[in-house]
Amino acid sequence: MSTNELTGAEILVKSLIEENVEYIFGYPGGAVIGVYDAMHDMSHIQHILTRHEQGAVHAAEGYAKATGKVGVVVVTSGPGATNTVTGIADAYMDSVPIVVFTGQVATHLIGNDAFQEADIIGITRSITKHNFLVKNVGELAWTIKAAFHIASTGRPGPVVVDMPKDVMASKTTFVYPKEIKMRGYHPFYFGHMGQINKAVEIINASHKPVLYVGGGVVNSNASNELVNLAKKLNAPVAMTLMGLGAYPGDDELSMGMLGMHGTWYSNKAVDECDCLVAIGSRFDDRVTGNPATFSPNSKKIHIDIDPSAISKNVKVDVPIVGDVRHVLERLTPLVQPLDTKDWLKQIDGWKREHPLRYENGPEIRAQYIIEKIYELTKGEAIVTSDVGQNQMWTAQFYKFKNPRSNITSGGLGTMGFSFPASVGAAFGVKDRPVFSINGDGGIQMNIQELTTAVGNKLPIKIVILDNGYLGMVRQWQDLFYKKRYTHVSLGTNPDFAKIAEAFGAAGFVSDKADDVVPILKKALKINDRPVVIDFRTTEEDNVYPMIPSGGTFAQIMDYPKSVEEIQMAKAHSEAVK
């Protein structure tokens, strides 16, 4: 046997070096013990030992979202592989480029119900962009190259590579491909000029345009091109949850988030506009409500790299298939500056009449916490939010200035996402503060990653908006189920500050509004370990505005100003139901 031959495990490590991988997030086990042996002398890549495989995938997602690079995960077979499923599905829904390497039993045992065997290829087929079962060590290097190519090109997404134990122990000559070609996989990047010209005609004829911006702008690194277009047109910008940060949230043309819990004025503008330019967004149900009545008066232009997303949920007038950045580079020079003075004046009036608001008092309001984090970080932090009310308040009250600074679980809505994602983000970006915003329910789903954060001295600020409830479920029970609270109380919450100290992190706790800023300032000065802040917030607070699921803008509920308005809002919600 040639002395130049390497085992499959060694080929994996060499291939990851060829892909310029910085970090592997993983957890060892029997089926990948050979891989971990090959990692022993690995100096070019740092392996991050998480404390759960789901945490490893979310950390890889956070790293990928914060940097734009491919996140990498290595886990063992069976339960190790199945523990990644939620994270893989999350990455699939949000178009996150990750490659997950799973161990597998030896090839001759596949299908025999061997110890720690699971058909991870079958399990993940519907939640991956592609997956591979490597049956021959000679195919391994090509497969790894293909996995990274698929994950990072076109519409990004997760790829699974399943590695039988005997394949990883077999040897072959290592040759890493310089480029990859795959039959049937040819993402189209530049957009058809005929379609672009049709879009230009509609835009130039419009008087009330709106740019409806999604996560595709972030994925394609097209924020500068988006700003150029918005400024040239003098057009207002509404962003999806995943699009926040694609356009500066503090700019006068920004209308913040649209959709179910978007700003009143962004939803109103979309409802009344005559030209809606959807850029890297997919018309999902949390934005459109009832798609039959969504933006009824507009001509609709849709720019997206994924042809399957075009007219999938809402029929559009001009589809443009292509990478957002390349399409905007072609489109922007052709459009004319528009006279939108009256349109922007109308929107400014709506902003004054229906601002985001909340009631202040001695108790801590979650919205107040987010506002103060924004003020103290000047909008420059990387913020990972969990799912539920904490996510929506973060989206509303933190004005993201930069792309890749808003890291959250959009499509799948995965509780437990924020904290492990902040771990990955903290590895990827070291020169900006990282905040993890959580509810008291979600933080308990992956709290074991405190060990990972402490062991690596990551100065993450973990903020818990602790209202004693599964807040968003309670809100729906409040508004639509006659306040019949069923199994949403978290009355047995632990002392999160003591838990933090037990893990080796710093811990703070308070239920007074006057403590918020002093505690946040103390936390920002701690740079050698994570900080857990348990803010005991008001128990029963709802996220407004709110458009009921499947509803229309006409049914929007704004923040009540008084007891009388609260009663009217609830009566209205009953009528909607």
125 pLDDT more than 50: yes
Q: Which domain holds residue 521?
A: 366-536
- Measured CA to CA, the distance from residue 361 to residue 510 in angstroms comes to 14
Nearest CA-CA partner of 52 in 86, 22, 16, 21? 86
- Indicate which residue of 5, 116, 139, 232 is catalytic: 116
* pLDDT tens profile 172-226: 999 999 999 898 899 989 999 999 999 999 999 999 999 999 999 999 999 999 9
The predicted pLDDT at position 84 comes to 98
Confidence of residue 451 (pLDDT cuts 50, 70, 90): very high
* pLDDT tens profile 463-500: 999 999 999 999 999 999 999 999 999 989 999 999 99
- Domain CATH number, residue 505: 3.40.50.970
Name the β-bridge partners of 100: 73, 160
Q: Exposed, middle or buried, 184 (CB in 10 Å: 0-12/13-18/19+)?
A: exposed
Percent of the chain topping pLDDT 90 = 93
Residue bearing the bigger pLDDT, 128 or 360: 128
Concatenated DSSP letters of 473-503:
HHHHHHHHSTT---S-B-TT---HHHHHHHH
Name the β-bridge partners of 238: 212
| Judgement on whether residues 342 and 371 belong to the same structural domain of the protein | no
338 pLDDT more than 60: yes
| Judgement on whether residues 203 and 284 belong to the same structural domain of the protein | yes
Per-residue DSSP letter, 459: -
Q: Exposed, middle or buried, 331 (CB in 10 Å: 0-12/13-18/19+)?
A: buried
Query: Where would I find the H helices in 32-180?
Result: 33-39, 53-67, 79-82, 85-93, 120-124, 140-152, 165-169
Nearest CA-CA partner of 294 in 32, 572, 551? 551
| Judgement on whether residues 489 and 444 belong to the same structural domain of the protein | yes
- Indicate which residue of 46, 115, 231, 565 is catalytic: 115
Percent of the chain topping pLDDT 70 = 97
* pLDDT tens profile 160-173: 999 999 999 999 99
- Measured CA to CA, the distance from residue 423 to residue 418 in angstroms comes to 9
The predicted pLDDT at position 561 comes to 67
| Judgement on whether residues 315 and 414 belong to the same structural domain of the protein | no
44 inside domain: yes
507 inside domain: yes
1 pLDDT more than 50: no
* Catalytic site includes residue 483: no
Q: What does each C-alpha distance from 285 to 260, 282, 292, 314, 441 come to in angstroms? A: 9, 9, 11, 10, 25
- Measured CA to CA, the distance from residue 419 to residue 29 in angstroms comes to 24
550 inside domain: no
* pLDDT tens profile 5-42: 999 999 999 999 999 999 999 999 999 999 999 999 99
* Catalytic site includes residue 115: yes
- Measured CA to CA, the distance from residue 142 to residue 175 in angstroms comes to 9
41 inside domain: yes
The predicted pLDDT at position 360 comes to 85
* Catalytic site includes residue 53: yes
Query: What value does the CA radius of gyration of the chain take, rounded to a whole number of Å?
Result: 24
340 pLDDT more than 90: yes
* pLDDT tens profile 292-309: 999 999 999 999 999 999
Could you tell me which residues come within 8 angstroms of residue 266 by beta carbon, excluding any fewer than 6 positions away? 238, 255, 256, 257, 258
What average pLDDT does range 415-424 have in this prediction? 98
The predicted pLDDT at position 2 comes to 46
Region of poorest pLDDT, from 51-65, 359-373, 516-530? 359-373
| Judgement on whether residues 258 and 286 belong to the same structural domain of the protein | yes
Choose the final residue of a domain: 322, 353, 384: 353
CB-CB neighbours of 484 under 10 Å = 8
Could you tell me which residues come within 8 angstroms of residue 234 by beta carbon, excluding any fewer than 6 positions away? 253, 337, 338, 340, 344
What average pLDDT does range 124-138 have in this prediction? 98
Total domains in the chain come to 3
| Judgement on whether residues 379 and 466 belong to the same structural domain of the protein | yes
* pLDDT tens profile 223-249: 999 999 999 999 999 999 999 999 999
* Catalytic site includes residue 148: no
187 inside domain: no
- Indicate which residue of 255, 260, 472, 546 is catalytic: 472
- Indicate which residue of 145, 165, 351, 461 is catalytic: 165
Choose the final residue of a domain: 120, 145, 173: 173
571 pLDDT more than 70: no
| Judgement on whether residues 342 and 200 belong to the same structural domain of the protein | yes
- Domain CATH number, residue 319: 3.40.50.1220
Amino acid at 257: M
- Indicate which residue of 14, 19, 39, 53 is catalytic: 53
